[in-house]
């Protein structure tokens, strides 16, 4: 019997491998080094290729797709500048633990290192910002490398993996065999938590007088929101979220304290500073959360649940680590703990902090404020929209004033803080989600960084609501200049250089609106949310000199927050 396997080109092996991985969407941009792949792609029927208008846009789109779908996002770009244009998107995904596989074309193997046309050492460039990367030297290794890339990206702590494909490897031929399993020496992610550690944690939590759950994006990545909510409710423990953890616990639940950290709520930060047991789940004790680590939860016994062992004791000393998958560990903890009423004094104290310093702002009279717009968006969507935030003041106001009730509903650049993220990420979200409102919110500065992807949205008639909070400033930088840099507004005033945003939208065939009037917001939102077969753009002309409060100064203790302007006038 003839058992000889089918001979295939590298390009054929590439697409057959993607088919076996269940890939349905791929975001990319063609070029010389990938032309053979795009020739084959012309006839591929099992996946959809989305042509973005920039490789950074492709990477952010794949990022947004991965965050809301739970699948691995896939990118295909050419060599040289095509590959280097993905770097910011890769770094963004790496910081936020988003599973991506990025395929980059490369010059032929014999030209690598010769400064050939459109050559860049993308493996060397991205080594610090990928979970792993590969340069495929032999077509016989292509299928197994792709299998490894998807496995590494999706398992353990997720992250981006890059696969560099020389032009000759894509054209070469070999027998095709796709491996069923993956064995990688030295890479064995721990899923189950140590039973003794779990039992010990249960005992500590059972005896706690003032426990607090500090929850990060790892809970969402582990699909553990249901278990987290059950654990918090069953044991009567208040919950605070990181920026990327928002949505892991219902934002409208009375036990929810809002976000903690630099722009967190006063009562969340006070709860952290005064709890006796802090249970961190899927969070990494980021500096924007902890402030001064010497004073962070100083008196608390700290339990840290995380799938990444390198995150334990990295920034803050931990009393009881449990390494493993958050979903599995919370399930085991639930078995160990029966319903536990808490002393009313702890919740009474939290209510006192809420009364002393509630999350509030001056309601608009004749001036439109970003907080007001976000509150109205939250009311109109009942917390059911997917909000894709850019970076800046509006990002923090979204975290404060939008009530997220579901996981994978808040898409934001957390660790890297990438301006220009929202528009392309929203494109990726729209290719994953079809039954919920999709809202991209950007400042006027960030909007201009990747607004070419409006073309992608318009071409595909994606039902995205693109909202611009236009204060004519690089608002967050301006805020720091006002508070800490002697009000020297150096190169943050965009008033004289901003384009007419509605004309940009109209030029691309996107229905566009603009308002500065608070009385028009509700009616305009009703009109916009009724449009569900194409993108729409709205510019909100908001207060120019508004500040995000509360705020912890950089390096300060989170228990010491600024609640109002240092300069009462707040004038330039």
Q: Which of 16, 55, 227, 482 is catalytic?
A: 55
For 280, the token pair is: 């961190």
Q: Alpha helices of 449-500 — where are they, by DSSP H?
A: 453-459, 475-484
pLDDT tens for residues 252-277?
999 999 999 999 999 999 999 999 99
pLDDT tens for residues 384-398?
999 999 999 999 999
Mean pLDDT in residue range 86-90: 98
- The percent of residues above 70 in pLDDT, for the chain, comes to 98
pLDDT tens for residues 471-501?
999 999 999 999 999 999 999 999 999 999 9
**So what's the pLDDT on residue 323?**
98
**So what's the pLDDT on residue 277?**
98
Residue 173 β-bridge partners: 9
pLDDT tens for residues 143-172?
999 999 999 999 999 999 999 999 999 999
Q: Say whether 118 is catalytic.
A: yes
* Whether residue 29 has pLDDT greater than 90: yes
* Whether residue 406 has pLDDT greater than 90: yes
Q: Alpha helices of 208-238 — where are they, by DSSP H?
A: 217-221, 225-234
* Lookup result for tokens 């770097």: 87
Distance CA 461, CA 434 (A): 12
pLDDT tens for residues 226-250?
999 999 999 999 999 999 999 999 9
pTM, entire model:
0.96
**So what's the pLDDT on residue 234?**
93
* Lookup result for tokens 């596989």: 101
Q: Which of 20, 24, 40, 118 is catalytic?
A: 118
Mean pLDDT of the chain: 95
* Whether residue 287 has pLDDT greater than 90: yes
3-state SS, residue 7: strand
Could you tell me if 278 and 212 are in contact, meaning their C-beta atoms sit under 8 angstroms apart?
Answer: yes
Domains belonging to the chain, first-starting first, are 7-175 (3.40.50.970), 195-356 (3.40.50.1220), 370-541 (3.40.50.970)
**So what's the pLDDT on residue 122?**
98
- Report the DSSP pairing between strands 100-106 and 160-166: parallel
Distance CA 137, CA 307 (A): 32
**So what's the pLDDT on residue 566?**
61
Distance CA 322, CA 329 (A): 8
**So what's the pLDDT on residue 571?**
44
CA-closest candidate to residue 80, choices 167, 168, 173: 167
pLDDT tens for residues 292-304?
999 999 999 999 9
Phi, psi (rounded to 5 degrees) for 440: -100, 125
Q: Say whether 476 is catalytic.
A: yes
**So what's the pLDDT on residue 2?**
52
pLDDT tens for residues 451-465?
999 999 999 999 999
Mean pLDDT in residue range 81-110: 98
Distance CA 88, CA 404 (A): 27
Could you tell me if 476 and 491 are in contact, meaning their C-beta atoms sit under 8 angstroms apart?
Answer: no
pLDDT tens for residues 347-381?
999 999 999 999 999 887 789 999 999 999 999 99
Distance CA 263, CA 393 (A): 10
Q: Which of 131, 147, 148, 167 is catalytic?
A: 167
Q: Say whether 175 is catalytic.
A: no
- Report the DSSP pairing between strands 173-175 and 7-9: antiparallel
Distance CA 11, CA 283 (A): 40
Which of 189-198, 407-416, 518-527, 553-562 is predicted with the least confidence, judged by mean pLDDT? 553-562
Mean pLDDT in residue range 46-57: 98
Going by pLDDT thresholds of 50, 70 and 90, the confidence category of residue 569 is: very low
**So what's the pLDDT on residue 83?**
98
**So what's the pLDDT on residue 564?**
78
Could you tell me if 517 and 540 are in contact, meaning their C-beta atoms sit under 8 angstroms apart?
Answer: no
Q: Say whether 451 is catalytic.
A: no
* Whether residue 540 has pLDDT greater than 50: yes
Could you tell me if 270 and 534 are in contact, meaning their C-beta atoms sit under 8 angstroms apart?
Answer: no
Greatest Cα pair distance in the chain: 88
Q: Which of 95, 419, 476, 551 is catalytic?
A: 476
Going by pLDDT thresholds of 50, 70 and 90, the confidence category of residue 570 is: very low
**So what's the pLDDT on residue 363?**
80
Residue burial 192-214, b: 16+ Cβ < 10 Å; e: rest: ebeeebbebbbebbeebebbbbb
Going by pLDDT thresholds of 50, 70 and 90, the confidence category of residue 193 is: very high
Could you tell me if 277 and 212 are in contact, meaning their C-beta atoms sit under 8 angstroms apart?
Answer: yes
Q: Which of 39, 46, 48, 117 is catalytic?
A: 117
Q: Alpha helices of 255-323 — where are they, by DSSP H?
A: 266-274, 287-290
């Amino acid at each position: 019997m003839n058992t000889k396997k089918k001979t295939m080109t590298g390009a054929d092996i590439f697409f057959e491998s993607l088919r076996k991985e269940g890939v349905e969407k791929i975001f990319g941009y063609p070029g010389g080094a990938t032309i053979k792949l795009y020739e084959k792609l012309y006839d591929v029927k099992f996946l959809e290729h989305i042509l973005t208008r920039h490789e950074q846009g492709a990477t952010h789109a794949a990022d947004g797709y991965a965050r809301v779908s739970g699948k691995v996002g896939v990118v295909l770009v050419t060599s040289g500048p095509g590959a280097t244009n993905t770097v910011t998107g890769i770094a963004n995904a790496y910081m936020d633990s988003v599973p991506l596989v990025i395929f980059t074309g490369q010059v032929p193997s014999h030209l690598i290192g010769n400064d050939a046309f459109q050559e860049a050492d993308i493996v060397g460039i991205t080594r610090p910002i990928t979970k792993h990367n590969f340069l495929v030297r032999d077509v016989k290794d292509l299928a197994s490398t792709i299998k490894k890339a998807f496995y590494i990206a999706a398992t353990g702590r997720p992250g981006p993996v890059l696969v560099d494909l020389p032009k000759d490897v894509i054209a070469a031929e070999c027998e095709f065999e796709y491996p069923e399993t993956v064995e990688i020496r030295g890479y064995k992610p721990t899923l189950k938590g140590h039973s003794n550690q779990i039992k010990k944690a249960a005992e500590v939590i059972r005896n706690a007088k003032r426990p607090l759950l500090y929850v990060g994006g790892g809970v969402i990545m582990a699909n553990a929101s249901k278990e987290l909510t059950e654990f918090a409710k069953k044991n009567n423990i208040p919950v605070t979220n990181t920026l990327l953890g928002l949505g892991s616990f219902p934002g409208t639940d009375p036990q929810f304290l809002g976000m903690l950290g630099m722009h967190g709520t006063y009562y969340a930060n006070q709860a952290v500073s005064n709890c006796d047991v802090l249970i961190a789940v899927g969070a990494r004790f980021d500096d924007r959360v902890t402030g001064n680590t010497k004073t962070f939860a100083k008196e608390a016994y700290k339990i840290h649940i995380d799938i990444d062992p390198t995150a334990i004791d990295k920034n803050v000393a931990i009393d009881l680590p449990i390494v493993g998958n958050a979903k599995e560990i919370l399930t085991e903890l639930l078995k160990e703990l029966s319903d536990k009423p808490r002393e009313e004094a702890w919740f009474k104290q939290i209510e006192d902090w809420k009364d002393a310093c509630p999350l509030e702002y001056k309601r608009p009279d004749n001036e439109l404020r970003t907080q007001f717009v976000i509150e109205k968006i939250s009311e109109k969507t009942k917390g059911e929209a997917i909000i894709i935030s850019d970076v800046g003041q509006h990002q923090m106001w979204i975290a404060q004033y939008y009530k997220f009730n579901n996981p994978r509903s808040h898409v934001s650049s957390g660790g890297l803080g990438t301006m220009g993220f929202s528009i392309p990420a929203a494109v990726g979200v729209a290719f994953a989600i079809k039954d919920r409102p999709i809202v991209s919110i950007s400042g006027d500065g960030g909007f201009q960084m990747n607004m070419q992807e409006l073309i992608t949205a318009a071409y595909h008639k994606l039902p995205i609501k693109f909202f611009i909070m236009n204060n004519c400033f690089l608002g967050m930088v301006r805020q720091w200049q006002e508070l800490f840099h002697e009000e020297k507004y150096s190169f943050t005033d965009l008033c004289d250089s901003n384009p007419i945003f509605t004309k940009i939208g109209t030029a691309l065939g996107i229905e566009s609106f603009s308002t500065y009037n608070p009385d028009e917001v509700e009616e305009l939102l009703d009109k916009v949310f009724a449009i569900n077969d194409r993108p729409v753009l709205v510019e909100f002309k908001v207060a120019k000199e508004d500040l995000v409060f509360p705020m912890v100064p950089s390096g300060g203790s989170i228990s010491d927050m600024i609640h109002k302007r240092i300069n009462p006038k707040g004038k330039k």
